[in-house]
A and B are shown apart, each in its own frame.
Chain A
Amino acid sequence: MGFFSQIFSNNRHVGKSAARKSRVAPIEKNVEAALQNNISYVDQALFHTEDLVSRPINYLSEQGCLLYLNSVCDPDKIQEVILKPLLKAQGVNPERDITANLVEKHTNLEPVIDLMIRGYAVLFLEGREECYAIQVVFLNNRAVVEPANEKSIQGAHDGFIESMQVNLQLVRKQINSRNLVVRQYTLGKMTKTDASIVYLNDLASPELVKEIERRITSINADNLMNGYLVLEYMEDKSLSPFPQILQTERPDRVAGNLLEGRVALLMEGTPAALIMPVSFFVFYQSPDDYNSRSLAGSFIRLLRLFSFFIAIMLPAYYIAVVSFHYEVIPMELFYQIKGSVEKIPYPPILEALFMELTIELLREAGMRLPAPIGQSIGIVGGLVIGDAVVRVGLVSYPMIIVVALTGIASFVVPSHEMSYSVRLLRFPMMIAAALLGFIGIVFSFTFMMVHLCKLESFGTPYFAPAAPMRLKDWKDAVVRFPFWKLNERPIDPQPQKLVQETRAKEERGDDRG
């Protein structure tokens, strides 16, 4: 059993062992007075790596040397903030003379070497038992553009990029509150990736923040390069088909969720924020709902939720009808469908599996290919295969309609993760329908619902506000009421303050309805 529990515990050891390992005393190596000794120590500590540059330098009358890794440092910056100012220097304190915005004085060499890897240049001076680490990191940020997979029609068009600093700035720009707190961590024993959790101090429940902190700090793994890896360590149930952490590339979506008392995790190198805890319905909300008027927003949201049922149930329903319950088809339609289905030599489940897998193949192929070819693959696949497959007599016409509708419905979800789960879930449904018809669908559907009721995300119910039922929260989960009606936040992340506005419309004074 120990073996299995180890497999399924996701490397999520409870604090102790991880903490014990990291408590190995850090190596102390003081900066020596002799310049050459320091240089050779750094060189050895970095195993004579060849991107280490050592540039001799003069600081007034003192001899010195500037050490840096040219792969992570910006040569222009070195020129601008170190070399030029040092030439013109007058004082005796290099900390004052160097114009970089981050200069740290160190007497211990070990942390300095870690800083060098992160884009610091180190200045050693002959005869001084201290050194100066200067931040000259080479920033190679791409522009803040609209994320390709979370486009919005109305609303902000900025998206996260691979730099955590920029991402934090994008979030802060949305919420100018002093309650917005950033807590930083370094994750991964080897990758040492920067991560930070962001939350509103007066909203997010302290237990939740503590729990997230506990989960982050107790991951004991070498490679935590990006958020997508961390996500799986932090989720409650990794084997559940439903994602329990929302990934989003949109700062406005993050801000909206922070204002509901949720917590976001940002990581260096990850162009997305992980939002936790989330409920099922959060995956079906898109910033577009809030940026359009409430009637339109509600309509779109209902359509999306409906698409969830179409995507997982429609092929199953069709299979059940064709193979078991053809009585439910009205008479006029019956002959049409019969004429088409009768000529197919295979059972409907095979037809459906064949077509569904073809669509998945097309999707995957279209995604991997460069955009212009990707589109033509879609056309070739969709039109040519779709038409030919019917003419040959492998698949019936109604099945093509069903599969196409299902495909479209599964892409409506505004979250990529949930779209995957929806596409996966319909296969067990289809098999159940092929085995037991409607009753099979009921059983698998019940199974899914029970699973949703049991699932929790960071101690909060996943299927809220449907289970536990709280009709008040349906105003912002299933439909979108006008903002002035949304007086309370959703209760599932257990925010410290439930009320988010009071008598919002009456105070405008001019309203009569």
Chain B
Amino acid sequence: MIAAKDKITPAQLTILVIQAQIGVSILFLPSSVESIAGNDAWISVILAGITSLLLIVIIWGLSRRFPALTLFEYLPMLLGKVLGKIVHVVYASMFILECSFLLVEFGDVMRDWVFSNTPGWVILSLMLLTSLYMIRENIRLIARFFVLTFGLIFVLILIATYAYRDADLMYILPINQVSLPGVFKAMMQSMDSLYGFEILFFCYPYVQGKSKGILKATIFGNIFSTLVYTFMVFTCLIVFSPEELKVIPQPVLYMVKTLSFTIFERADLYFLTIWTLVVITSVMAYLFMSAKTVSALFGKKQHAGTAPYVALVILCISLYPHDQDMINKMKYIVGILTGVSLIALPLILLCISYLRKIKGKEQAEA
């Protein structure tokens, strides 16, 4: 049973989900989606948001049947010991790889935009150290920090809004220029940015209130992040011409770079600074999930002891790829792993739970 003082409110859950979802890809998403779906990219992002809603419902449906347990406590109940451990390992590697990939992309941006000569491990290990300092605590304190830094996302939006000065709505016309398969392919691409809602697996038992409220909170968070992503993609689409978008990897930064305010220049540096904080919260979320998963794998109740080792592994993995080719390979692996463990596995687990009628004990409602 979880004590009332360890619980978080549904509003905190919403922000946890948003902060886990919005991270590095706010910079990458526009160009990566545009390269597939052209000026219909924004539709793909919205479609991806709808898809992730479905996935949230699946995860929620699964968690609802075990209201007092986290994923790794009921995995053996559903799959048996051996298979449960295997799936557990899949999840652990997925979280660790996803966190590493986040860091790889972050390190890339830092190298390209701010510190071209600073070795990557310096910045990445600082990032992990800062995150480590936070995630050794329980979910409640983490939620407090996420709420505190939530406002910064609006600052990012505000800076980007300034770019509407140079916008031209004609760029997104005609709608449905690319074929439907292209839009769907781009949707799969943008799904990568919307992962993060899986934090529900870890939070569910800790949230106050009824399960419907939890679903609502998560869905609200997901809708918010989808809108932010769509806004960013849409802004980039109407600010840059399709030809320009093909050659620039981080269009958002190029977009804010040209903005000039009278009291300061180079808004992209401020944008990057705030974006770093937004990325830190994502890294925290993923590091937390990785640490929780790994510590559960070794049968430990507390994750604080395992967290430094997990961070070390993540650091090593994230320093490994050193060219675009390897990064793409890594992206491919991460894509498969997340697809398996966030789309296929929850669905299978839900089916097993319903078919074999395995259910956790009802949590006594206060």
Q: Are B130 and A447 in contact (CB under 8 A)?
A: yes
Say yes or no for B262: interface residue by CB 8 A criterion.
yes
Contacts of A437 in B (CB 8 A): 114-115
Say yes or no for A34: interface residue by CB 8 A criterion.
no
Q: Are B263 and A330 in contact (CB under 8 A)?
A: yes
Q: Are A468 and B133 in contact (CB under 8 A)?
A: no
Interface locus among B32-40, B192-200, B221-229, B265-273: B265-273
Contact of B273 among A442, A453, A461, A469 (CB under 8 A): A442
Interface locus among A80-88, A165-173, A281-289, A321-329: A321-329
Q: Are A449 and B141 in contact (CB under 8 A)?
A: no
> When A447-B130, A447-B133, A467-B145 are in contact, do A439 and B265 touch as well, CB less than 8 Å?
no
Q: Determine the residue in chain B with the shortest Cβ distance to A437.
A: B114
Contacts of A441 in B (CB 8 A): 273
Q: Are B145 and A450 in contact (CB under 8 A)?
A: yes
Contacts of A446 in B (CB 8 A): 130, 277, 280
> When A325-B266, A325-B269, A328-B265 are in contact, do A439 and B144 touch as well, CB less than 8 Å?
no
Q: Are A467 and B276 in contact (CB under 8 A)?
A: no
Say yes or no for A96: interface residue by CB 8 A criterion.
no
By DSSP majority rule, is chain A's interface helix, strand, loop, or mixed?
helix
Q: Are A469 and B147 in contact (CB under 8 A)?
A: yes
Contacts of A330 in B (CB 8 A): 262-265
A419-456 contact mask (Cβ, 8 Å, vs B): 1 or 0: 00000000000000000111101110111011101100
Q: Are A439 and B130 in contact (CB under 8 A)?
A: no
Say yes or no for B46: interface residue by CB 8 A criterion.
no
Q: Are A439 and B110 in contact (CB under 8 A)?
A: yes
Say yes or no for A466: interface residue by CB 8 A criterion.
yes
Q: Determine the residue in chain A with the shortest Cβ distance to B262.
A: A330
Contacts of B161 in A (CB 8 A): none
Say yes or no for B173: interface residue by CB 8 A criterion.
no
Q: Are A442 and B148 in contact (CB under 8 A)?
A: no
Docked CA distance A466–B145 (Å): 9
Q: Are B115 and A436 in contact (CB under 8 A)?
A: yes
Number of interface residues of B (CB under 8 A): 32
Docked CA distance A205–B210 (Å): 29
By DSSP majority rule, is chain B's interface helix, strand, loop, or mixed?
helix
Q: Determine the residue in chain A with the shortest Cβ distance to B5.
A: A459
Q: Are A453 and B144 in contact (CB under 8 A)?
A: yes
Docked CA distance A441–B280 (Å): 13
Q: Which of A455-481 contact B (CB under 8 A)?
A: 461, 463, 466-469
Say yes or no for B177: interface residue by CB 8 A criterion.
no
> When A436-B123, A438-B273, A454-B137 are in contact, do A449 and B263 touch as well, CB less than 8 Å?
no
Q: Are A443 and B130 in contact (CB under 8 A)?
A: yes
- The A/B interface has a contact count, at CB < 8 Å, of 83
Contacts of B143 in A (CB 8 A): 468
Contacts of A438 in B (CB 8 A): 114, 269-270, 272-273
Q: Determine the residue in chain A with the shortest Cβ distance to B275.
A: A442
Docked CA distance A324–B263 (Å): 18
Q: Are A468 and B273 in contact (CB under 8 A)?
A: no
Say yes or no for B126: interface residue by CB 8 A criterion.
yes
A4-27 contact mask (Cβ, 8 Å, vs B): 1 or 0: 000000000000000000000000
Q: Determine the residue in chain A with the shortest Cβ distance to B132.
A: A450
Docked CA distance A461–B137 (Å): 14
Shortest CB–CB separation between residue B300 and chain A, in angstroms? Answer: 19
Docked CA distance A102–B114 (Å): 76
Contact of A439 among B12, B148, B266, B273 (CB under 8 A): B273
Shortest CB–CB separation between residue A336 and chain B, in angstroms? Answer: 15
B130-144 contact mask (Cβ, 8 Å, vs A): 1 or 0: 100110010001011
Q: Which of A320-350 contact B (CB under 8 A)?
A: 324-325, 327-331
Q: Are B141 and A453 in contact (CB under 8 A)?
A: yes
Q: Are B123 and A327 in contact (CB under 8 A)?
A: no
Q: Are B269 and A327 in contact (CB under 8 A)?
A: yes
Docked CA distance A451–B265 (Å): 32
Contacts of A436 in B (CB 8 A): 115, 118, 122-123, 126
Q: Determine the residue in chain A with the shortest Cβ distance to B110.
A: A439
Q: Are A439 and B123 in contact (CB under 8 A)?
A: yes
Say yes or no for B258: interface residue by CB 8 A criterion.
no
Specify which of A328, A449, A453 lies most central, judged by the most chain B CB atoms within 10 Å of its CB.
Answer: A453
Q: Are A449 and B147 in contact (CB under 8 A)?
A: no
Contacts of A454 in B (CB 8 A): 134, 137, 141
Q: Are A443 and B266 in contact (CB under 8 A)?
A: no
Docked CA distance A436–B147 (Å): 26
Shortest CB–CB separation between residue A461 and chain B, in angstroms? Answer: 7
Contacts of B144 in A (CB 8 A): 453, 461, 463, 467-469
Q: Are A439 and B276 in contact (CB under 8 A)?
A: yes
Q: Are B265 and A327 in contact (CB under 8 A)?
A: yes
Q: Are B147 and A467 in contact (CB under 8 A)?
A: yes
Say yes or no for B310: interface residue by CB 8 A criterion.
no
Q: Which of B1-47 contact A (CB under 8 A)?
A: 12
Q: Determine the residue in chain A with the shortest Cβ distance to B279.
A: A442
Shortest CB–CB separation between residue A305 and chain B, in angstroms? Answer: 14
Say yes or no for B363: interface residue by CB 8 A criterion.
no
Say yes or no for B149: interface residue by CB 8 A criterion.
yes
Shortest CB–CB separation between residue B89 and chain A, in angstroms? Answer: 30
Shortest CB–CB separation between residue B48 and chain A, in angstroms? Answer: 29
Q: Which of B263-313 contact A (CB under 8 A)?
A: 263-266, 269-270, 272-273, 276-277, 280
Shortest CB–CB separation between residue B241 and chain A, in angstroms? Answer: 26
Say yes or no for B127: interface residue by CB 8 A criterion.
yes
Contacts of A449 in B (CB 8 A): 145, 148-149
Contacts of B270 in A (CB 8 A): 328, 438
Shortest CB–CB separation between residue A165 and chain B, in angstroms? Answer: 39
Shortest CB–CB separation between residue A40 and chain B, in angstroms? Answer: 61
Shortest CB–CB separation between residue B9 and chain A, in angstroms? Answer: 9
Contacts of B118 in A (CB 8 A): 436
Docked CA distance A345–B95 (Å): 49
Docked CA distance A453–B148 (Å): 9
Q: Are B148 and A466 in contact (CB under 8 A)?
A: yes
Shortest CB–CB separation between residue A383 and chain B, in angstroms? Answer: 30
Q: Are B147 and A468 in contact (CB under 8 A)?
A: yes
Q: A325-B269, A436-B122 are in contact. List 20 more A-B contacts (CB 8 A).
A: A327-B265, A328-B265, A329-B264, A330-B265, A331-B265, A437-B114, A437-B115, A438-B114, A439-B110, A442-B276, A446-B277, A447-B130, A449-B149, A450-B130, A450-B134, A450-B145, A461-B144, A463-B144, A468-B144, A468-B147
8 closest Cβ contacts across the A-B interface? A467-B144, A438-B273, A453-B145, A467-B148, A450-B134, A327-B266, A469-B147, A442-B276
8 A-B interface contacts by CB (under 8 A): A328-B264, A330-B262, A436-B126, A442-B273, A446-B130, A447-B130, A468-B12, A468-B143
